[in-house]
Structure 1
Amino acid sequence: MRQNPSFVMTDVAELRRLIELNPWVTLVSTGPDGLVASHYAVLLDDSRDDLTIVGHVGKPDDAILGLGERELLVVVQGPHGYISPSWYGDVAAVPTWNFISAHLSGVPELLSAEENLAVLDRLVNRFENGMPHPRGMWERPNDEAFVQRLASGTVGFRLTPSRVVGKRKMSQNRPADVIDTIIGELEDDGVHSNQSLAEEMRRARVRGVNA
């Protein structure tokens, strides 16, 4: 991901927030036939305070991705959206796209069956806890045999990235009044309304560059 000093994001807490809020990621690797990609949900490793993530893939995606054998690129994508040149005022300008994203690279470690089961349990709870009547992985009518059978069709992994590239392009290189206009347009009910992107732009403005 090409960097620009105005948009680089290095703060670990902000990168952790990005992963926490956007757990659906793209896993990219190089296989015998070229590039391969899969899409799965991941979690931050709750035993660490760095950018280590845990997750799982279904078989045979583990073999296709070379999980545990080859470098894996994990692409995390946060809020993003179109920015019209008309929002800059009466100046020469072209359209652009604002976004927040991170690339985590490294060779993942394979989890044991017990560790994988714990990650699967935590993953289900992560999304069920907000439901009116949460249904955990071990809740009836699921039984242990059912859970173990499903878990056996997955492979868990832990990735402590050896390289991290974070980028938050939120019009930080524009004057404050232009940023205000863009945020207002994104909050409006127009064709490119985008509340989540507007919120990220406000956050980027408060935190400033290299955060």
Structure 2
Amino acid sequence: MRQNPSFAMTDVDELRRVIAANPWATLVGRDENGMTASHYAVLLDPERDDLTIVAHVGRPDDRVLGLGEQELLVVFQGPHGYVSPGWYGDVAAVPTWNYVAVHLSGVPEVLDAEENLRVLEHLVDRFEGALDDPRRMWAPPNDEDFVRRLEAGTVGFRLTPTRVTAKRKLSQNKPDEVIENVILELRGDGVYANPALAAEMQRAHDARLAARATAL
């Protein structure tokens, strides 16, 4: 992803927020046959406060991604959506697409069986924990043999990125009144209504207004 200084995201806490809220990621790697993109749930490492992530892939995706042998690109896609030029008012304009994305790259560390089990358990807990009656990984009717077979069919990894590219393209290059009108349109009931993108734009806009007020 080409970086644009006007749209760059650099705050680690904000990057962690986007990653945590959008765990379904795209993993891009290669083997001798070329590039492959795979899709898996990826989480922040619960034992770290940086951008280190943990996940697992099913065999043989570890081989086609070159896991542990070369650089892996992990893409997190945040809220995104269409923005009509009609929302800008009576000015010359063209359509665009607003979005938030975080790209992490590095050579991942392949985990041993016990660490992989902890990652799998963390993954289950992360999503089952939202349910009224969560079904944990070790809960019956799962038994240890079943869980161990599950683990053996996967390869866990930890990646501390050596390259980070993050972009928040949310109409920052437009006047305040245009940004606010785009937010209103996205919050509405039109065909391109997008509450999640509206909330992301509002968050970024509020931060800019606060920074501007502090600078005065």
Task: Give the fraction of aligned pairs with identical amino acids, expressed as a percent.
Answer: 67
Task: Return the alpha-carbon distance in structure 2 between the equivalents of residues 153 and 33 of structure 1.
Answer: 23
Q: Give 2:35's aligned amino acid.
A: L
Separation in 1, partners of 2:56, 2:208: 35
Shift of 1:114: 0.2
**Map of 2:145 onto structure 1:** 145
Shift of 1:48: 1.0
Instruction: Tell me the residue number matched to 1:115.
Output: 115
Q: CA deviation at 1:18?
A: 0.7
1:5 Cα deviation (Å)?
Answer: 1.8
Give the Cα separation in 1 of the matches to 2:5 and 2:59: 40
Q: Structure 2 counterpart of 1:9, which letter? A: M
Number of equivalent positions: 210
For the residue of structure 2 that corresponds to 1:132, the secondary structure is coil
Q: Which residue of 1 aligns with 2:105?
A: 105
Q: Structure 2 matches for 1:166-185, cutoff 5 A?
A: 166-185=166-185
| 1:195 correspondence with 2:195 | yes
Unaligned runs of 5+ in 1: none
1:9-158 map, 5 Å: 9-158=9-158
TM-score with structure 1 setting the length: 0.97
Amino acid at match of 1:156: G
Please provide the CA RMSD for this pair.
1.2
Higher helix proportion: 2
Deviation of the 1:34 alpha carbon: 1.4
Q: What's the offset of the Cα at 1:32?
A: 1.1
**Matched letter for residue 91 of structure 2:** V
CA distance, structure 1, for counterparts of residue 207 and residue 60 of structure 2 = 42
Q: How far off its partner does 1:35 sit?
A: 1.1
Counterpart Cα distance in 1 of 2:47 and 2:122: 13
- Cα distance in 2, alignment partners of residues 42 and 145 from structure 1: 25
Instruction: Provide the C-alpha distance between the structure 1 equivalents of 2:12 and 2:207, rounded to a whole number of angstroms.
Output: 13
How far does residue 30 in structure 1 lie from its aligned partner after superposition?
Answer: 2.0
Q: Distance in 2 between matches of 1:67 and 1:109?
A: 8
Question: 1:191, 1:9 → 2: CA distance?
Answer: 29
Structure 2: distance between partners of 1:178 and 1:170: 11
1:102 is matched by which residue type in structure 2? V
| Counterpart-to-counterpart distance in 1, 2:155 and 2:124 | 16
**Aligned partner of residue 148 in structure 1, secondary structure:** helix
Displacement over 6 Å in runs of 4+: none
Letter in 1 for 2:190: G
Give 2:205's aligned residue: 205
State the distance in 2 between where 1:188 and 1:206 align.
Answer: 19
Aligned with 1:6: secondary structure? helix
Q: Deviations over 1:78-125 (max 9, x none)?
A: 000000000000111000000000110000000010000000001001
Q: What letter corresponds to residue 139 of structure 2 in structure 1? A: E
- CA drift of 1:31 comes to 1.8
